[in-house]
Each structure stands twice: as structure tokens, then as C-alpha cells.
Amino acid sequence: MDDVKPRQSDPFWWCAAIAMAFAGLAAIRLGIPTRPYFDEVHYVPAARTLESLTHPVNAEHPLLAKALLALAIDAVGDTPVAWRIPALIAGTLGLFAFMRMLWWATFSRAVPLIGGLLLATNFLWFVHARIAMLDGPMAGFAMLAGWAFVRGLREPARARWQFALAGVLMGLALGTKWSIAPLLVLPGLAFLWAKARDTGTALVTAREGGLVPGMRLPEAALWLGLLPLVVYWLTFAPAFFYLHDALGPLDIVGQHERMFALQSSVVKGHPYQSVWWQWIFNLRAIWYLYEVVDGAQRGIVLIGNPATMVFGLAALVWSAWRWIRSGEALWLAPPLAWVALMALWALADKPVQFFFHYMMPMTALIVALALVTGRWWDEGRRWPAWVVVGASIAFFAYFFPILTAAPLQDDQAFLHWAWWSGWR
């Protein structure tokens, strides 16, 4: 980030309004279907079992998202709305945090508002704010951590507490799903790189230079490295108290060996599986639901918003080019995050993968798109932002019935939205 001071007024309340409008739209038919669908069939029973602390279930994933689901069931009752409330809250808070992160990164009114509208109308983010899966809470904690970290960079006097908060939230994000791990290492690596660049061999002891002058490398390693791991370890605490097959508090290595083995053991093919390069070009949809349920033919599909997918890729390339030309580090952040997140799935020993794994790389695309169009807006070229945001909202409105399980005309209605075979 550059060193400019705020020149525009903070769009805090506009960010809040966008987040609340998103929550209202995502709450429409939140309780439909009235039974678990898609991967809810794994996570809802796992949460019920976790609530009783009897024995391990769904042990290939960390516990936190399922623990939040169990808390919602305990607080509200074992109902479809209760199953999906944690995802709705996470999606709403994550969207708000995403906009606040962009504000502190750029001090531009346009960038966070454009980014917020694009993320709110992004199909992956919206659908996962309405389903009891792990990805919504993971993304929500990650965006809250990003907000805290970036604000710490902008306010060095408060960096210690902002970094500590970011570290806690990073640990919570990792405690929901491992997919976020490549993103969580980037803040610490960025701090290390900047400190080494400015101080050379004295990087360990030097207080000057780096991203936060006055903060030594060991302290940053505490907040951004050790603290997240401690918090992550604490998210396994419910497993210490299982009546059967309890996890030993010091058996964290053995637990992860078992989790890795379970992750790699799923080799049976799935009709909706896909691979990373198909995600980039929006080639393979997942129909989370398509059947007669709750008195009508209904469907819920997961694909990428066509506007975001096309314009986002172009913005990612443009962002990388701007960094090469200008050296302004902010332009490097989206392509670096996207590559790190995609590398996980390109290299992972996980035979069966799905398009929902593209949720966080897609968020990096939206950051790039918001930065590019927001910078042009501030320079007086506003039509690209109008085109991109308008197209994203238009596609969102058109697909809204099959993002929210609306009643459909008949069992062939999906053809209105399944434009080619990969979306069927």
C-alpha cells in the first residue's frame, strides 16, 4: 500500500447498508428445503453428534464450523433455519469485513463499495451464506482477519492489538476448513519480506523499517504465526471431551495424520466433481438441489456469476501488470492470493474436488476487479464500474430463483439457466 492519507469520507454506513441488504436477500426462503441438502447431509448430523459429545463424526475436517452449527441448534432448535443461521451471519459479517478491508487498503470510497456490490452478487458467496457447510464460516473469519490486519498496517500505533485480533481470527478460519491455509501465511510472509528488504541482516532485532515501523519480527511472528496456531489447536477442545475415542490434547500430530488420511481416502467419483482449471472458466456447475421438495419443483445451483468470472480474470491480469509497471505492492495482493489459493488445489492429494473450492480464489478476483474499476472511478473513468457492477447485478437477478430455491414451473425449468452441458 502507498502512504496516502484519507482524502475521501469513510463509506462506513454504505458498507453496512450493502451488508444488511445482502442479509435480507440471503434470508429469503432460508428454511427451504426443510431437510438437509447436498453436503448438509454430512454436517448437520455431525453437529448433532458434536452437541452430544458422544464420539467423532466427520473427522476429516476441523471442528469449529460444526461447533457453531451445534450452538445454533442448541439455541434456536433443530430446524432448517437454525442449521443455516451460522452461514448467514458469517456471510454477512464477512461481506462487511471485506469492504472495510478494502477501505483501509485504499482510502477510496469507490473501491469498497464496488467490491461489496460485486461480492454480494457473487453466486459462490451468496449460496454459501444460505447452506450449512464449512465454506461460509471459513470465508467470514478470513475476511474479518484481513480487515484487522490491514487496519493494523494503516495505524501502526494500534498494530499490536490489530495483529493480535487478526491472529485469533486466522486461527478460527483455519479451525473451520483447511482450504484457507495458503491465504493465512501471506500476512506473515509479507511482514518478513518487508523487514528484510528494509533492514537486511538485522531483520530479527530491528525496530525500524518494514510494514510496521517499531514492531520487531519476533513480535509479528507471535501475532501472525504462533497465535493462530494456538487458537486453531483450541478449536479442537470439544474433541477432548468425547465419551468415546476422545482426542488427547497433546495428540495433535496424530490427529492431523488421521485427518490427512481421511481427506485422501475419498476416491469414488462424483457426478459434479471438477478440477481447478475448469473452475477458472466456469465450466462445471453443481446442482445442490433439483427436485420436488416442499410442495414444488425447486433448484439451487452453484456456478460463478458470469460477469465476475469474465471481468475478474481480466482484472487479475491487469492488476499483476500494474504491479510490474509501478511496483505498488497493493496491485500484487490479488494475483498473489489467487495463485496461492489455486496452487493448493492444483497440487493437493485430493482426488475428488468441487467448484465450491473456488470460493476464496473468486474473492481474490473480486478484489482485483474492485481495485481496477475503483482506481479508474477515482481518476474520472466511471463507465467501467457501471458496466461491471450493472452486469453482475443483472446476472444475479436473473439467476436469483435458482439461488434461493424458488418454485419452478416444471422439471425442465433448469434449461432457462443451464446454458451448456457443463451447467446441467
Write the pLDDT tens digit of every residue in 276-306.
999 999 999 999 999 999 999 999 999 999 9
| Banded pLDDT at 6 (limits 50, 70, 90) | low
**Per-residue pLDDT, 167:** 98
Residue 4 above 70 pLDDT? no
Question: Quick one: three-class SS letters along 277-332?
Answer: HHHHCCCCCEEEEEEEECCEEEEEEECCCHHHHHHHHHHHHHHHHHHHHHCCHHHH
Please enumerate in sequence order all residues whose Cβ is within 8 A of that of 52, keeping only pairs 6 or more positions apart, or say none: none
**Per-residue pLDDT, 288:** 97
**Per-residue pLDDT, 282:** 95
* Full-model pTM: 0.95
**Per-residue pLDDT, 2:** 52
Share of the chain above pLDDT 90, in %: 80
**Per-residue pLDDT, 148:** 98
Please enumerate in sequence order all residues whose Cβ is within 8 A of that of 397, keeping only pairs 6 or more positions apart, or say none: none
Which amino acid, one-letter code, is at 213? P
Distance from C-alpha of 172 to C-alpha of 175, rounded to nearest angstrom = 5
Distance from C-alpha of 263 to C-alpha of 275, rounded to nearest angstrom = 16
Residue 9 above 70 pLDDT? yes
Distance from C-alpha of 197 to C-alpha of 185, rounded to nearest angstrom = 18
Residue 269 above 80 pLDDT? no
Which H or E run includes 356?
none
Interval 34-82: pLDDT, tens: 999 999 999 999 999 998 889 888 888 999 999 999 999 999 999 999 9
Dihedral pair phi/psi, residue 297, rounded to 5° = -70, 125
Residue 28 above 60 pLDDT? yes
Which amino acid, one-letter code, is at 104? W
Residues in the chain: 424
Residue 422 above 70 pLDDT? yes
**Per-residue pLDDT, 7:** 60
Interval 344-379: pLDDT, tens: 999 887 778 999 999 999 999 999 999 999 999 999
Q: Locate the domains of the chain by residue range.
A: 12-423
Interval 198-216: pLDDT, tens: 898 888 888 888 899 889 9
Max CA distance (Å), the chain: 69
Interval 173-194: pLDDT, tens: 999 999 999 999 999 999 999 9
**Per-residue pLDDT, 352:** 85
Which H or E run includes 292?
strand 286-293
